[in-house]
Structure 1
């Protein structure tokens, strides 16, 4: 393929060659007319005499012989180790005494699946859920988050205080009057649209069936306000999602469940919870649980409307929702 600054396209080469071969121009005159070297004019004229117009197309730059190419026996060993042990290029290279870049080229040449595409225990290629529009599938899950004691937790006050708080949680009611009282947990219920990654999340007190059902009703109403009609919901096999209360809350929406012990199937909401922990829950040293809770809706708004998402080409989730602001209604 010609580079963008090439002076001759296929049509220009054909014109040059015909001027030399058919019209009798000298190589120097043709080279000056088409602003190329004399050797270039001679090359295209020679190919035209030999092959005609078909000789004006680009040829492959691949060499006819590669004496330094990795031996077939070594390539087979690389593929065997990759398939059986699922190692990366660096580790395979150290094992065989080959540079990792060579291993990478061999794996690419044979089209071996990348490690991030594979399920490590089975070696099978992961089937990723692809959606074509908003509301086609919504992932739902719950994350358990420990509350922060007054004055800050171990991240602020040190591990000695953290161990004391842990012992306080395990001690009897008599001992707790001399130590910090039981702090408890927040249960972070989240619903995230698979296509746009737009998320609705709440900090609730438990993960019972009534709580999960009420959360979904509010989440469904919020998605409707955003112009998203939910058609399918994906959850794990938690008891709250297998309840009649949650089934009634879904109504006509199709309910799908992940296979047991396969959290990867619900990976979009799992990844959201990891991002949430990194960028909100543990992003700074909070002095109280209330202070962290106050920052949650602020962070969630930034996630939906301002934070760039790598799966969306650096755009925020709101950019994939048509008319989210409602200015064109």
Structure 2
């Protein structure tokens, strides 16, 4: 016959019934049921007091004098539900800023844990050690977050721009493509509102890089004319752009998780709201729980009304690259230059070694002419290199 499982409550009721039988040897019953006599007499007392279930009682104390007040717990839980990716530190500092007395960050953590709102972070402990520019606007980081599918079926590529020093986000744009014209239009609007940075830190992808390995792009040329440098990250080293990657994780967790947007207009409105929250309200752990806006300063460099032309000294050899060709004429021959400089004026300056000339865009040495090598030797645009006749 099948084995019949007996619940703990049934076993205890059976013990009590047998113990109440006249003449029962209660100590022997305790031995047979594998319990201490004190436990047996406790069950008897509960039964005689009218308790029929005999289930285990909670060991929770009747009062918790050190427990946080109910209104405080409600504020903590409410803020966590409103900002699901915020941890105890951010919530504590935000509540203190609102005038709420918080005993300790550990108290907020305990409240979150007690309400089942603590989730272990993925990937283990965070990386230690980082670099940081000493002032705002010395370096901005720019990248596309991974694309998302909109409700109308079109892909969208959120463009993110953050300041390296303050983590302030001057731009968060819903772009329908990753083309140079789109990025330039969005950057123009950001520059007119927040001013120009000294330089951008970017990866090697388009539109700030070139799929063939060239680092000069049309966007890079445009930024150079504005006096903004373009620094490319070392390939296959995403850790060098940790601030941008961390920003993307926050954006995903706090805005994109389990949400879908009908079109780019709806997404842009959501990005604007989240950017305002991120810049002005959300405490940042890397900033000692200050907000990015508290460390941000407006750039003193304004966006010019007209794009400046590079200035060359009088008497320099200057050649303008044709709009449809990738070469310049020098010494009776044609020399290849990066495609990004179509239509731009370049200067040719002699170098230290005889027969070699540098090709410059403003102060930037973009490639080298070597008159001593008549044959083609290839062309690498990401560093000064020999260029050859067509």
TM-score (norm 2): 0.39
TM-score (norm 1): 0.46
Pair member with larger Rg: 2
Q: Which has the higher helix share?
A: 1
Q: Which has the higher strand share?
A: 2
Q: Which has the higher contact order (CA 8 A, sep 6+)?
A: 1
